[in-house]
Amino acid sequence: MCLNILKNGSLLAVVLATVTWSGIVAAQSPLPPRGGAGADMYDDALPETGGGFARDGGMELSPDSGAFGDVENPFEEPEPVIEKTKEEIDREIREASFTAAITGLLPLNPGEIRQLLKRFDETQQAVEIPVYPYPQPEVSVHTVSLDPGVTPPVIKLGVGHVTTLNIMDATGQPWPIFDLSWAGNFEVLQPGEGSHVVRITPMSEFAYGNLSLRVVKMSTPITFTLKTQRDVVQYRFDARIPEFGPYAKAPLIEGGLSIVAGNTAINSILDGTAPEGAEKLDV
């Protein structure tokens, strides 16, 4: 048994000595060139490479991290949490709702609103002001003739203006209107019972027509021509009928006859007013 151990020990020593000597010789011998004989032996020993070999970044730290990364400081005191009361929460909700309502309903500030209204006013003014001058207003008194063949008096009207027709007798007293009718693009307000006033308004720039009326206790109708124009408008037209109406008043003082210039009877006749006691003659 001892002999076997010695034999085995000698064999082991011989093997170790052989391996050591082979390593020394291999270290001192030059390697064969790449691509030459024996190159395949080295190529097979290298690992296969793909399109690239990237380093796994799983353990890398961000540049903003400290020496120990994003680690909370265990010694730092946490910020205190302030709890709001129910009244404070309700107030914040109301303020937010009010701000949202103001923004939704009134998105413009006061300065922008005034600027917008000023621009609207300028536009409205440009639309409503006519390009021609306003008509010249007049107040006229005209004696209406009841004779046949006489041209009816013309009442001058204007768009946007009301003309008042006033019917009176020879003494200047009102003569009530019984009925009336008209033709043309006009708005005519019917007089009330016992009234002697008619209001006429043209509804177009060049409206043209006529008006016919009858007064109390007179069978002859009175006619007028209605004409709309731009230069002159009659605000009031006093139509004097050369007759005594139901409310006529006789003059209190009757002057005597005179042959001097300016006779009252002649002046009354020239003025279209018949003197008291005058009678119409059929010629």
pLDDT at 97: 92
Domain count, the chain: 1
Q: How far is the C-alpha of 145 from the C-alpha of 238, rounded, in Å?
A: 13
- Whether residue 124 is contained in a domain is answered as no
Residue ranges making up the domain that contains 159: 136-240
Question: Interior CA angle at 82 toward 79 and 84, to 5°?
Answer: 160
- Whether residue 95 is contained in a domain is answered as no
Sheet of strand 232-240: strand arrangement: 136-143, 232-240, 163-168, 197-202, 186-189
- Whether residue 129 is contained in a domain is answered as no
Q: Is 172 left (phi over 0), alpha (psi -120 to 50) or beta?
A: left
pLDDT at 167: 96
- Whether residue 98 is contained in a domain is answered as no
Q: How far is the C-alpha of 112 from the C-alpha of 117, rounded, in Å?
A: 9
Residues 10-57 have pLDDT tens digits of 555 554 555 455 554 444 555 555 554 454 555 555 555 555 545 555
Closest CA to 237 of 134, 151, 156, 135: 156
Q: Do 188 and 180 touch, CB atoms closer than 8 A?
A: yes
One-letter amino acid for residue 231 of the chain: D
Could you tell me how many residues make up the chain?
283
Residues paired with 202 in a beta bridge? 186
- Whether residue 257 is contained in a domain is answered as no
Tens-level pLDDT at each residue, the chain (283 residues): 444 444 444 555 554 555 455 554 444 555 555 554 454 555 555 555 555 545 555 555 555 555 555 566 777 777 777 888 989 899 999 999 998 988 888 888 889 989 999 999 999 999 988 888 999 999 999 999 888 889 999 999 999 999 999 999 988 899 999 999 999 999 999 888 899 999 999 999 999 999 999 999 998 999 999 999 999 999 999 999 989 999 988 765 555 554 444 566 676 676 666 776 777 777 6
- Whether residue 198 is contained in a domain is answered as yes
Residue 232 maps to which CATH number?
2.60.40
Burial class from Cβ neighbours inside 10 Å (0-12, 13-18, 19+) for residue 163 reads buried
- Whether residue 167 is contained in a domain is answered as yes
One-letter amino acid for residue 129 of the chain: I
- Whether residue 35 is contained in a domain is answered as no
Q: Do 249 and 151 touch, CB atoms closer than 8 A?
A: no
pLDDT at 103: 84
pLDDT at 67: 53
